[in-house]
Amino acid sequence: MLQTIAFSTTIEAPKEKVWKALWEDENYRNWTSVFTEGSHFETDWKEGGKILFLDGKGEGMYSKIDKMVTNELMAFQHLGMFKDGKEQPLDEQTKSWAGSKEIYTLTENEGNTLLEVKLDTVPGFDGYFNETFPKALKKVKELSES
């Protein structure tokens, strides 16, 4: 049973700058390092296309870009694990979160941007995200405002 948790921060920068802080490769590697060192992605950034979220060893998960509106919305659907250079068959643990969503929304108001993140997680993982996501958003804020 998935539960949805949400985080937000107000950033003193236009949404275009926040978008770059989130999704440009070097910036992404910076702010996602709080989750796992070496975090990076592989994708062509096409809506409906695949994206791999990987660690420094090239392992992680494969997902789909559900919706993308540049500078406003990025929505992922997480599908399964990626290991040894390929998508892994769904096991019981993966089935518990397969299909979960992760959604980033940017709303600009008078030069400031409200960044909101909603993500589905399995019970027990919310504590991890409640600890790490605020640290990640702090890094996004720093990257955006510099």
**pLDDT at 1 (0 to 100):** 84
> What torsion do the CA atoms of 128, 130, 132, 135 make, to the nearest 10 degrees?
-170
Domain containing 133: what range?
Answer: 3-145
pLDDT in tens, 97-131: 999 999 999 999 999 999 999 999 998 888 999 99
DSSP classification of residue 14: -
Question: What's the domain count of the chain?
Answer: 1
For residue 29, give the amino acid letter.
R
Residue 54's CATH number: 3.30.530.20
pLDDT in tens, 17-70: 999 999 999 999 999 999 999 999 999 999 999 999 999 999 999 999 999 999
The model's pTM: 0.95
In terms of Cβ atoms closer than 10 Å to its own Cβ (0-12, 13-18, 19+), residue 78 is buried
Query: Within 13 Å, how many C-alpha atoms sit on residue 49's CB side?
Result: 11
pLDDT at residue 7 above 90?
A: yes
